[in-house]
Structure 1
Amino acid sequence: MPGPSITHVVLVEWKREVEPASVQTLERLVDELPGQVPGILSLRRGPSVSPEHLEAGYEWGLVVEFEDAGARDGYLPHPAHQPVASIIGAGAERLVVFDLG
């Protein structure tokens, strides 16, 4: 029996030199993930729209809801996730990954 769903949260503060085209490429790749990776229930991504302005420098976020921990665990090494992780890793000044179960 699968466990509870997992919410995977990624917050990024970009390096100054990151070009908008790189973020656009990242967003295109992220938008393709639900059709490529099994177990994704929902996905949201983009800049903060909070009126509170408490982002502490984080400029871009990704929230993926997985069916369960097994789906999340399958996503991490998945070939469709690798270019996403690479772009974020290369462009992030600071990065937070936080999973809720």
Structure 2
Amino acid sequence: MIRHVAVFRFKPEFTQEQRQAWIDMIKDLPRSIPEVKALSIGTDVLRGPSSYDVGLVADFESLEDLDAYSRHPKHDEVLAVSGPVKEHLAMADFEF
């Protein structure tokens, strides 16, 4: 199994309402992308100086499934929304 972890920091102009709509898009991805075995996403609750705004964890059976997710048109739609307002992104992908 592969676990994909991503944390996002956004520009201030990405409003809370826009962020929630984007999060809802991500929550809907498993319906369109069967390779996603599990997905969770949420906004940071601590809001500390080193915190990111949103964290995502998604699980896949294989690296090939993660690749299929990354190349899927629905994933591209999510990237189109977050790309222009993303200040920073950190990711880690590991076997578990």
Give the TM bin, normalised by the shorter chain.
0.7 to 0.9
Secondary structure of the equivalent of 2:73?
coil
Once the two structures are TM-superposed, the CA of residue 49 in structure 1 deviates from its matched residue by 3.6
1:45 pairs with one of 21, 41, 51: 41
CA distance in 1, matches of 2:16, 2:9: 13
CA RMSD of aligned residues (A): 1.7
Q: Which moved more, 1:85-94 or 1:53-62?
A: 53-62
Shift of 1:59: 1.3
The corresponding residue for 1:86 is 80
Q: Which ranges in structure 2 are unaligned for 5 or more consecutive residues? A: none
Would you tell me which structure has more helix in proportion to its own residues? 2
Runs of 4+ in structure 1 off by over 4 angstroms are none
- What TM-score, normalized to structure 1? 0.83
1:36-56 CA-to-partner distances (Å, cap 9, x unmatched) read 102211100011245xx6671
Q: Which TM-score applies when normalising by structure 2?
A: 0.87
Instruction: Calculate percent identity across the aligned residue pairs.
Output: 29
Q: Number of residue pairs matched? A: 95
Alignment gaps of 5+ in structure 1: none
